[in-house]
Amino acid sequence: DKTAALPNGMAREEFEEYQRQLLEEKIERDKVFAQRKAERATVRMHLRDKYHLAQDERDDAQVHVAGGAVELPQDLAAMVHSEEEEEDGSAGAFAFLAKLREVELPALRDRGLGGVNQVKEKCALM
């Protein structure tokens, strides 16, 4: 009677071994998933530190669930700790002004007027 209830005609021992393997695989997948969630939470925490934003308690909880100390993969760590630190607004404005000197305004104006003339040729209403 009990052997008829088991799938695919498996013996009880085979079925128990199969169930045990499924459970072990599920535990391993859950462990990897928790680790990835913790890595993402760590990235968010580092980015919030970098840009002086408020921390989220859920990120701390995810890191704690994964075991506390989470190491970031190198590509994520490089993204967080980039060589180019954000500069203040005044340096950005000076860089913009320096690039503005390189722009040839007459050539830019001629290019814009050429585009308008092409549209006028194609559009009878203009």
Could you tell me which of 26, 4, 28, 29 has the C-alpha nearest to residue 15? 4
Query: Does 24 share its domain with 66?
Result: yes
Query: Does 104 share its domain with 69?
Result: no
Structural domain boundaries enclosing 110: 91-125
Percentage with pLDDT > 90 across the chain: 11
Query: Does 45 share its domain with 105?
Result: no
In this structure, what are the phi and psi dihedrals at residue 95, rounded to the nearest 5 degrees?
Answer: -65, -40
Residue linked to tokens 């994520």: 76
Helix (H) or strand (E) holding 67: none
pLDDT one-digit tens code per residue, 43-97: 888 888 888 888 888 888 888 887 767 777 777 777 766 644 554 455 666 677 7
Query: Does 23 share its domain with 82?
Result: yes
Query: Does 98 share its domain with 114?
Result: yes
